[in-house]
Every structure is written in C-alpha cells, then in structure tokens.
Amino acid sequence: MNRNPKYEALLDYLKQLDRVVLAFSGGVDSTFLLRAAKEALGDRLKAVTILSPYIPKWEIEEAKELVRELGVDYEIIEAPLIDEIRYNPDNRCYLCKTAVFSMIKELAGKGGYRYVIDGTNFDDIHDYRPGLKALAELGVKSPLLDCKLTKAEIRSLSRELGLPTWDKPPYACLLTRIPYDSELRIEDFEKIERAEKYLMDLGFRAIRVRCHDDLARIEVGRSDRSRLFDEELMDRISEKLKEFGFRYVSLDLAGYRTGSLNAAIGVTG
C-alpha cells in the first residue's frame, strides 16, 4: 500500500505504547487496529475477545479466524450477563463496558502489558456512545480516535491492506436489539442471533432484528427493502423466524438505522 500519513502516525503512536492488549471484536475498526498493531508491535501485542450471551457465535468464530490469519497471541474471556444490566437500563453500555474492560485490564496487568486499547474511531465521538465514558474512566486508549481516523479512512486503508473486513457492515451487540427497561433473556438473544444470521445468509447485509417480546421487527437497508416485498420470500422469512421462537414477524418500513431503539430515551441517530 502507499504509505498514508495517518497510517504512519498510527504506527508511531502504537510503537510508543510498547506492550498492549487489544479488545478485539472482529469488526472493521478492531481488525484494522489489530493489523496495524501487529506491524508496529509484533509479539508485544495480545488480542482479547469477549464471549458473552449477547455476542453472536458467528462473530466469535470470525474473530478467531482473523486473529489466526494475522498470527497474534489471543485469548477469549467469558463474560456473564451482569446483574446491573439485567433489565436493560439506558446506561447499560456504560455498565457493560465498565465490567468487561475491567476484566481485560486485569488480564493485561497479570500479563505485564502496559495498556489496553480499543477500536473507537474519530466518527464515534459524534454518535451516542455512553460506553466511551467507561473507557475514559478505566484509562483505555483509543489509537484510531487519537489519530483522528474516520470510518471511511479505516475502510479505505483496510482495503489497501487486503483485510477482508474492509466492507463489513456495522454490527453491534445483541443488547441493542431489545428495548430499554426490558428483561434480558438468553432465549431472546438466541432467537435474534438465529434470525439475523438467516437473513444475512439470504444476502441482506445491513440487517437488524429488533425483539419486542414475541414480535420481530426487521430492519434492512433502504436498498434492500424492495426485495422483501416478494410474497414468497416474506412467507419463507415469517415461517423461519417463527421456528426460531417469534410469534409475530414485522417489517420496519423506515428501514435499517443505527440505534433505532434510542428514540425511546430521547436520542436520535
């Protein structure tokens, strides 16, 4: 790839950290950061992925494969559903990240690593991200944010680096599929995961299945909505999602948008 000034600045930034643990989800940002950190730090890098009931199994498998391909030391930490978020409070992201990154920091300290880093990018500060407060309180560093790398730049650089995630659709944990102040149940996570994976396998890229008890509210990208107006396909999807545990299956006519459940707490976008 052509040496990009921001990428060079990122490598210099990472080299100064010496020994780091990277919180790795397998998404666009953390995969790009993992690749850069491997180049900058070599064996002074460890990647950690969180295994929890609200992280899809397919995403864990993708993360494991990406780490294997990049040849990075790796560990998976099992994180239970903590009592503080059992009823999905509106500050759940803050509470969850506090718990999860405390576990990662403990692992890093025991292993002699100086810093924990994550894939927050420069665009994230303009979005509703209550978890950023937790990262700041715990002293987690965000190299992509500090080097002012935007999502578009990260995708472009990822493509130049040959990373398979360069055009991966955005994905958030399954907690975001359930309305605030609702009890979180393992069986709901399972049926959401199965429903979304089924729709992805049908070729829908930007997809969310919001869970309102026994009703599934499907959100797809605006360019994909017309595909769902095929009666045979609608019947197949309805039948399959009912097999997964939903009683009713609906299509959100507004299409996919990030954080659609945040409107209930007065946050848009």
Q: For residue 261, is pLDDT > 90?
A: no
Distance CA 170, CA 27 (A): 7
Comparing 34 with 171, which gets the higher pLDDT? 34
Of residues 204 and 266, more confidently modeled: 204
How high is the pLDDT of residue 229? 87
Query: Any idea where the domains of the chain sit in the sequence?
Result: 5-161, 175-265
For residue 263, pLDDT beyond 90: no
User: Looking at the predicted structure, is the pLDDT value of residue 269 above 50?
Assistant: no
| pLDDT tens sequence across 169-178 | 988 899 999 9
Fold type of domain 5-161:
Rossmann fold (3.40.50)
Q: Is the fold of 5-161 the same as that of 175-265?
A: no
Q: Which CATH class is domain 175-265?
A: alpha beta
Phi, psi of 31 (to 5 degrees): -70, -45
| pLDDT of 260 strictly over 80 | no
| pLDDT digits 0-9 by tens, 181-219 | 999 999 999 999 999 999 999 999 889 999 999 999 999
Q: What is the mean pLDDT of residues 249-265?
A: 75
pTM, two decimal places = 0.91
Q: What is the mean pLDDT of residues 28-49?
A: 97
User: Average per-residue pLDDT in the chain?
Assistant: 92
Catalytic residues: 173
Residue 109 pLDDT more than 70?
yes
49 within 8 A of 21, measured Cβ to Cβ: no
User: 80-96, pLDDT tens digit by residue?
Assistant: 999 999 999 999 999 99
Between 128 and 129, residue with greater pLDDT: 129
